[in-house]
Amino acid sequence: MEAVVTSPVEEHGHGHEHDHEHHESFIRKYIFSTDHKTIAKQFLGSALFFLFVGGAMALILRWQLAYPGEALPLIGSMLSDRFVSDGVVQPGFFMQMTTMHASVMIFLVIIPLAVGFFGNLCIPLMIGTDDMAFPTLNMFSFWLVPPAAFFLMIGFFHESGAAAAGWTHYPPLSVIGGFGHYMWTIGVFFVGFSSILGAVNYIATVLNKRAPGMKMFDMPLTVWALFITAILAALGTPVLAADLAILFFDQFFHSSFFIPEGWVVADYPNNGGGQPILFQHLFWFYSHPAVYIMLLPVMGVASDVLATFSRKPVYGYKAMVFAIMAIAFLGFIVWGHHMFQSGMNPLLGTTFMLSTIVIAVPSAIKTFNWLGTLWRGSITFSVPMLHALAFVATFVVGGLSGIFMAAAPADVFIHDTYFIVAHIHYVLFGGSLFGIFAGIQYWYPKLFGRRQNETWGQIHFWLTFIFFNLTFFPMHLLGIGGHMRRISDPNVYDFLKPFAGMNEFITICAIILGFAQLILVVNMLMSFKLGKKASRNPWRANSLEWAAPSPPVGHGNFDKPLRSYRGPYEFSLPGKKRDYLPQWKKPAKSESAEESAKQAAGGNGQAAGGGGH
Amino acid sequence: MAHGALTLDHEPVTGIPHGKLGMWIFLATEIMFFSGFFATLIVMNHANPGLFEETAQKLSWQLALLNTVVLISSSLTMALSILNLERKDTKKFQLFLGLTLLGAFIFLVVKYIEYSGKFALDITPETNVFYACYFLMTGFHGLHVVGGIVPMVWMLGKSFTEAGYTNVGRVEVLGLYWHFVDLVWIFLFPIFYLLYNPTLIIF
């Protein structure tokens, strides 16, 4: 399986350095770049931009829930009359906001960050190669995101408004909903295409481009997680694409695939024979695995960060890998738990309930292994570590509340309430986003060559962690109290009136949570120029990306021949002077042996890949 | 490119070239894509008993049979073009790739005749869910044929402008794709034109 050439020193040991004097044009270098690091930065930049767009939408929702009937502060007077009247959010606009907040956060923030950003940043560097298997395809998969964003958002500029059928976009509402809904379908199709191309690229890269000596089970867990995620995306996303294609037929050619028999509305020509629940089956066949697409990469990142800052090997490395695989496999056979209330045979519901609860097993393996990694470790509470710890903590809360929903009888009650909203935010914000922040903080020195300001990082973390919990934990209570989601004015219901104070509290916390994120961005931007220069291996970690200079050289990453000798988690080995042993360090016999091996590794690259690509 | 970056492009670890491996993975995603359609077809058939049998006989199985022959032949000529490129016989490579291209065009022309016949009778996806499935699935298959034509034209052009064109790997990857497009049609043909057509049941 290994393509390792162990030939002795070739006479042209370092003859293959790029000595190009030509300068790439600005466009090739920064815009239509094929360098995976630049593409990672593009994913990061666009996703952080949309994080604020989606966050602003969330704050509009929160304002309306806390102060229904009161004019939006600051922006209320700037919005068009189609959305607000005298600055007060109208119910239709509220529905557009719920839909677009979720769509933006899922399709333009979390998936691009978890898969696009980490995939591009980590895979080539951590497996010790110069770029993806298909750099041009990689560029293409980023440049599908702007048109996707365009189609998702264009509805706001049309008189009928943006999509308002929920991010799940269930027909028949999405079919007759109008312009914004049609454009939404096209936009998400673009996102899906981007995911598919990315997934093909990641799988091929991991299988084919690992550094000499690196076996599959020598890969860091981040790469494992991204690899399994790519398989999920490759097998799940096309089904969503098919589903959207069928929805597109209904929307544009009036084919009534998803229109219920005998359903009459407006001037839609219903030809009968449609099955609205089929849309939901196909949709969740993708969208449940999509939950893991958003979560698994972050689990890998957290594993790496926890091990590095506990100075201990990841507890149960292989168990971690198999747990990722188990979650991915089970993720494909649980989609029905989103549809307990959709009119499904109760027997089928029970099947889905059981398969869903089984997911708790690999999830628990991962959680206990994280705790095992921390156990008696020499822990540094650096900014990345704090975010990773927050990830583990909030993931446990989100996972446990998930079990309530997995149980069909309990779900009958909490379905469509704020309990669901609390759960999704504990998993997607508390889980994915904290893990993403951990990764951003952890690899920032590698990607940009500078350290971020530690103090501001700590301030950002603590504000985010505290106000995240204050915002979303009370939502569990709202949900238990029967507070429905997607209602624009809770005060019209008598039984929700006692919750008015809690809604107000949540809104105040959410506003602080939102503004706290500015610290992250300002800190990142300021550190581009003002941060301390980062060394090659600022965290004293073991995986191959730390062998490259910070930032990695040009389009090619490594300045020295590279070979992997061991697994990525050799921390605190007994009897060693240093508490870490990087993957690229040759097992030392003598200085001269090391020298010749270096040249041999150099000879490899020459012998095998002289032609480049 | 900055100074000091190394070329780290080793032999593919799996021994399979990147392009071929990537195409196999991509075809896996394509299978899932069409699986979504086939699942829809099954559900629609069960939800509308009798409709498929009644409507299917209005499709022209003769035209579809012609297209089947054309597409299978084009798969053969595709394989022959790869074989001849491996033998460095550029002339024959161009001949067989050209024939494959011709097959793809004939397929689309026949498809056009079939569709316009339907539209002339005012049959659209709006008519009923059988026709909706028919237009959906044969339509997306047709788009995949178009998706094959584009790189074929490009490679054929390249082989004329570039003396001694020998990119076997690239043509092989295209061949994989083309066989897949062929295979999808092998499923679509019996399902739409034969399976539900009572006039064709002989036993």
Q: pLDDT tens for residues A56-110?
A: 999 999 999 999 989 998 888 888 888 988 889 999 999 999 999 999 999 999 9
Q: Please indicate whether, in this complex, the C-beta atoms of B35 and A242 are within 8 angstroms of each other.
A: yes
Q: pLDDT tens for residues A218-227?
A: 999 999 999 9
How does strand A84-85 pair with strand A88-89?
antiparallel
Query: Which residues of chain B make contact with A2, given a CB cutoff of 8 A?
Result: 13
Of the candidates B27, B50, B29, the residue with the CA atom closest to the CA atom of residue A286:
B29
Residues A391 and A468: beta-carbon distance below 8 Å: no
Residues A39 and A138: beta-carbon distance below 8 Å: yes
Choose among B8, B36, B132: nearest Cβ to A558. Answer: B8
Q: List helix spans (H) across A67-117.
A: 91-103, 111
Domain span at residue B33? 18-197
Q: Where are the domains of chain A?
A: 37-530
The average pLDDT across A579-605 equals 64
Q: pLDDT tens for residues A291-310?
A: 999 999 999 999 999 999 99
Tally of domains within chain B:
1
pLDDT exceeds 70 at position A10? no
Burial (CB < 10 A; 0-12, 13-18, 19+), residue A611, is exposed
Q: Please indicate whether, in this complex, the C-beta atoms of B25 and A211 are within 8 angstroms of each other.
A: no
pLDDT (0 to 100) of residue A20: 44
Give the rounded percent of residues in chain A with a pLDDT score beyond 90: 77
Burial (CB < 10 A; 0-12, 13-18, 19+), residue A555, is buried
Q: Give me chain A's average pLDDT, please.
A: 89
The residues near A166 (Cβ < 8 Å, ≥ 6 apart) are A95, A98, A99, A102, A486
Q: Answer yes or no: is B10 within a domain.
A: no
Query: Which residues of chain A make contact with B127, given a CB cutoff of 8 A?
Result: 271
More confident residue, B57 or A516: A516
Mutate to test the interface with A, among B6, B31, B124, B135 (most CBs of A within 10 A): B6
Q: List helix spans (H) across B122-203.
A: 129-161, 168-188
pLDDT exceeds 70 at position A18? no
Q: Answer yes or no: is B164 within a domain.
A: yes
Of the candidates B19, B34, B7, B180, the residue with the CA atom closest to the CA atom of residue A201:
B19
pLDDT band at A23 (very low <50, low <70, confident <90, very high): low
Q: Answer yes or no: is B167 within a domain.
A: yes
Token pair in block for residue A79: 């919005």
Mutate to test the interface with B, among A200, A232, A558 (most CBs of B within 10 A): A200
pLDDT band at A355 (very low <50, low <70, confident <90, very high): very high
- Enter the DSSP assignment of A130: S
Query: Hey, which residues 17-76 in chain B have their CB within 8 Å of chain A?
Result: 18, 21-22, 25-26, 28-37, 39-40, 43-44, 47-48, 51
Residue at A421: amino acid letter: V
Q: pLDDT tens for residues B96-117?
A: 999 999 999 999 999 999 999 9
Q: Answer yes or no: is B101 within a domain.
A: yes
* ipTM, interface predicted TM-score of the complex: 0.93
What does the alpha-carbon distance between residue B102 and residue B93 come to, in Å, rounded to a whole number? 14
pLDDT (0 to 100) of residue B116: 95
B100: CATH:
1.20.120.80
Query: Which residues of chain A make contact with B138, given a CB cutoff of 8 A?
Result: none
Mutate to test the interface with B, among A253, A279, A584 (most CBs of B within 10 A): A253
How many CA atoms, within 13 angstroms, populate the side-chain half-sphere of residue A158?
Answer: 19
pLDDT exceeds 80 at position A17? no
Q: Which of A47-51, A196-200, A573-577, B73-77 has the least mean pLDDT? A: A573-577
Q: Which of A115-119, A575-579, B32-36, B38-42 has the least mean pLDDT? A: A575-579
The average pLDDT across A271-277 equals 88
Q: What is the pTM of this model?
A: 0.91
Token pair in block for residue A335: 């989609």
Choose among A128, A273, A556: nearest Cβ to B51. Answer: A273
Domain boundaries A37-530, corresponding CATH code: 1.20.210.10
The kind and range of the H/E element at A512 are helix A500-530
More confident residue, A373 or A598: A373
pLDDT exceeds 50 at position A16? no
CA distance A218 to chain B (A): 14
Please give the residue of chain A at the shortest CA–CA distance from B41.
A257
The kind and range of the H/E element at A52 are helix A36-66
Choose among A2, A130, A137: nearest Cβ to B9. Answer: A130
Of the candidates A284, A258, A309, A594, the residue with the CA atom closest to the CA atom of residue A441:
A309
Q: Which of A15-24, A175-184, A581-590 has the least mean pLDDT? A: A15-24
